[in-house]
Amino acid sequence: MPGLPATIISMNMTTESFDALSLFSGGLDSILATKLLQSHGHRVLGLHFVSPFFGKPEKKDFWESEYGIPVEVIDVGQEFVDLMAALPPHGFGKVLNPCVDCKILMLRRAKELLPAYGAKFIISGEVLGQRPMSQRADTLNIIRNDADVRDVLLRPLSAGVLQPTPMEESGLVDRSKLPSLVGRGRKGQYDLARTLGVTTIPTQAGGCRLGERESARRYWPILRAFPRPLAHYFDLANVGRQLWRDGGHWLAMGREHKDNEKLLKLVRPEHYVFVLKNFPGPHAVGCPVPGRDWPEDILAAAAACLASFSPKARRSEGEVEVAVTRFGQERIIAVRPDAPHGFSDNATWPETRAQQKEWEKSLGR
Ligand code: SF4
Residues 88, 222, single domain; the answer is no
Residues 98, 217, single domain; the answer is no
* Ligand 1 within 6 A of CB of 54: yes
Q: What is the DSSP string of 31-69?
A: HHHHHHHHHTT--EEEEEEE-SSS--GGGHHHHHHHH--
Contact 285, 263 (CB under 8 A): yes
Residue having the nearest C-alpha atom to atom 1 of ligand 1:
208
Count of the separate structural domains present in the chain: 2
- Condensed to tens digits (0 to 9), the pLDDT of residues 212-251 reads 999 999 999 999 999 999 999 999 999 999 999 999 999 9
Question: Degrees (nearest 5) of the Cα angle 285, 220, 228?
Answer: 75
Residues 192, 340, single domain; the answer is no
Burial class (CB within 10 angstroms; exposed 0-12, middle 13-18, buried 19+) of 326? middle
For position 188, what pLDDT does the model report? 95
For position 7, what pLDDT does the model report? 43
- Condensed to tens digits (0 to 9), the pLDDT of residues 156-169 reads 999 999 999 999 99
The reply to whether 7 falls in a domain is no
Which of 155, 190, 207 lies at the terminal end of a domain, its last residue? Answer: 207
Contact 34, 60 (CB under 8 A): no
Contact 152, 161 (CB under 8 A): no
The reply to whether 179 falls in a domain is yes
Ligand 1: atom nearest CA of 93 is: 6
Ligand 1: atom nearest CA of 133 is: 6
Which of 192, 207, 222 lies at the terminal end of a domain, its last residue? Answer: 207
Range of the domain at 124: 20-207
Contact 253, 309 (CB under 8 A): yes
Residues 6+ apart with CB under 8 A from 347: 217, 220, 221, 355
Ligand 1: atom nearest CA of 25 is: 3
Measured in Å, residue 217 CA sits from the centre of ligand 1 at 17
Residues 239, 131, single domain; the answer is no
Average pLDDT, the chain: 94
Measured in Å, residue 152 CA sits from the centre of ligand 1 at 21
Q: Is 335 helix (H, G, I), strand (E, B) or coil?
A: strand
- Condensed to tens digits (0 to 9), the pLDDT of residues 269-300 reads 999 999 999 999 999 999 999 999 999 999 99
Measured in Å, residue 320 CA sits from the centre of ligand 1 at 45
Measured in Å, residue 53 CA sits from the centre of ligand 1 at 9
The reply to whether 356 falls in a domain is no
Cα gap 40→331, rounded to integer Å: 65
Residues 252, 333, single domain; the answer is yes
Residues 26, 168, single domain; the answer is yes
Examine the pLDDT at 86 and tell me if it is beyond 80: yes
pLDDT grade for 365, boundaries at 50, 70 and 90 = confident
Contact 167, 34 (CB under 8 A): no
Measured in Å, residue 66 CA sits from the centre of ligand 1 at 24
For position 203, what pLDDT does the model report? 82
- Phi and psi, residue 18, nearest 5°: -135, 160
Which of 207, 237, 262 lies at the terminal end of a domain, its last residue? Answer: 207
| pTM of the predicted model over 0.85 | yes
Q: What CATH code is carried by the domain that includes residue 128?
A: 3.40.50.620
- Condensed to tens digits (0 to 9), the pLDDT of residues 118-143 reads 999 999 999 999 877 677 889 999 99
The reply to whether 60 falls in a domain is yes
For position 131, what pLDDT does the model report? 78
* Test site for ligand 1: of 208, 209, 212, 213, most ligand atoms within 8 A of the Cβ: 208
The reply to whether 34 falls in a domain is yes
The count of residues in the chain is 365
